[in-house]
Chain A
């Protein structure tokens, strides 16, 4: 385990991640696709293995020893999730499959109960599809309308336009905390302030924020906040929906089944208390516990130090890529986190991605599930390098060298 104090020892951190020692096509893996999913430290891998080896049974059901052990471990993980985002109560942290399910839960449960024809949902143009499509579905079902706030050429949310869009019919403002395609950090406290003036609720998509910065949902006064475990160095298939207690209590169930009930008869079923009323069925027990281990891991290092390190790598990458004549950076907001998106002149991102891959460099190429952003910048796709707490300047150099190989092959 990495030392908490002292200088940021990235080499020691890297040793915590077994996969970083793997090679691909005979080259050292340079993993720059953390925005899609982050790698797992030994502590998380061991934690998941330990669940199945020593403390596994179904949760919240059995009176037997193993069920109690598993339940305790899972509820301890919920408390870690609460602390991570500084929620008031652990039962405000609902375990879901990921941010996508969290947003679908709110759109479906809160949306169908509260939206009426003519009501408005405000999004931004840089939302991930998972923060667009669930709202489109519920808008279609309820007659609500969707309004979209624009961004500048740098990829900064246009706050004046957002202010103008948020009006008396606005019921929900659903905005990303950090753009997955551009890396832009959105001033979400200001978004909340604008929403409050008309009494609208705010859902923040924290997928790309939670791995890189300390998040305080109470300081932000966010009504809902979602994030995925797998981007936070935890297992896939687990994530958290935070909702204010009063809001969650007033929402109808999302899925019906076991665990979410208090009593069932064919005449009337009553629902369980929070958080269980939103956790129908057997949850991803080992995933939740593994997420707890991931939270311990990142908080053990400290977000201040993680952010400082990642900013250094991001600044270095921006500088090195920006110095290449053939590179067009997409997303140049002054406040960014861990993501650099770009295109090479005359070479399609997929071709870039294939060539980088053969050099051992893993990046994401495509539309990043954010097609409206691509349209905004009039590109079909971009190359995206996204950094995590274990990435280094050396790896940025490897990326730039690999781009040289692209130029070689494409003869420029």
Chain B
């Protein structure tokens, strides 16, 4: 049996209770709304770009522990970094949590603190909770006008 503790690790609970970089960011250069129509989770991600660098990032979320923790960790990981780096982290994370097959130790290590979220692999209905903030961040960077959804 899969331990629920692997999904709800202390790090995740901490981030969900005390999300970092929570709240609207003003001024911002990019923003997007994300929602999961299946469960009603909503998030808004704000990014301030300066010379190709994510100078600052913020988010407002109405969602579960997994989505809020994922958003919180995301902001910590990509703040101060480059846009392409942020996209690369998302690509690695998305691949690991959505791929059906085995994942390697190296892949897990490369995820840094996001490794605590790979428990969602065993909870298929919850994978979208973990990826929603990232899709929304990517949409903000893409300047997508419409809301993104996980569907």
A374 and B123 CA atoms in complex are apart in Å by 25
Chain B 3-52 interface residues, beta-carbon cutoff 8 Å to A: 4-5, 7-8, 13, 17, 38-42
Instruction: Check: A354 CB closer than 8 A to any chain B CB.
Output: yes
Residues 361-385 of A at the B interface (beta carbon under 8 Å)? 365-367, 371, 374, 380-381
A380 touches B63 (CB 8 A): yes
Q: How far is the CA of A409 from the CA of B6 in the complex (A)?
A: 11
Enumerate 12 A-B pairs (CB-CB under 8 Å) in ascending A order.
A350-B41, A350-B64, A351-B64, A354-B7, A354-B123, A355-B4, A355-B8, A367-B39, A380-B42, A380-B63, A381-B39, A410-B8
State A276–B32 Cα separation when bound (angstroms). 49
Of all chain A residues, the one with the shortest Cβ separation from B35 is A380
Report yes or no: B66 in contact with A351, Cβ–Cβ below 8 A. Answer: yes
Cβ of B138 under 8 Å from chain A: no
Q: Which of chain A's residues have a CB closer than 8 A to the CB of B63?
A: 348, 350, 380
Which 5 residue pairs are nearest across A and B when measured between Cβ atoms?
Answer: A348-B64, A350-B64, A367-B40, A366-B39, A380-B62
Residue among A25, A351, A381, A411 facing the most chain B CB atoms (10 A cut-off): A351
CB–CB B40/A348 < 8 A = no
Tell whether, in the assembled complex, residue B40 and residue A380 are in contact, meaning their CB atoms are under 8 Å apart: yes
A251 to B59 alpha-carbon distance, docked (Å): 51
CB contact under 8 A between A411 and B13, given known A365-B39, A380-B40, A380-B42: yes
Residues A347 and B1 in contact in the complex (CB < 8 Å), given A354-B123, A366-B40, A381-B39: no
Nearest chain A CB to B33 CB, angstrom units: 14
Residues of B within 8 A of A50 (CB): none
* B118 is an interface residue with CB less than 8 A from chain A: no
Say whether, besides A371-B40, A380-B41, A347 and B4 are in contact (CB < 8 Å): no
When distances are taken between beta carbons in the complex, the residues of chain A under 8 Å from B41 are 350, 380
Interface check A358, CB cutoff 8 A: yes
In the assembled complex, how far is the CB of residue A403 from the closest CB belonging to chain B, in whole angstroms?
13
Residues of B within 8 A of A26 (CB): 1
Q: How far in angstroms is the closest Cβ of chain B from A193? A: 35
Q: Is there an interface contact between A409 and B5, defined as CB atoms closer than 8 Å?
A: yes
Q: Looking at the complex, which one of A365, A381, A405, A410 makes contact with B13 (CB distance below 8 Å)?
A: A410
Q: Is B114 an interface residue (CB 8 A)?
A: no
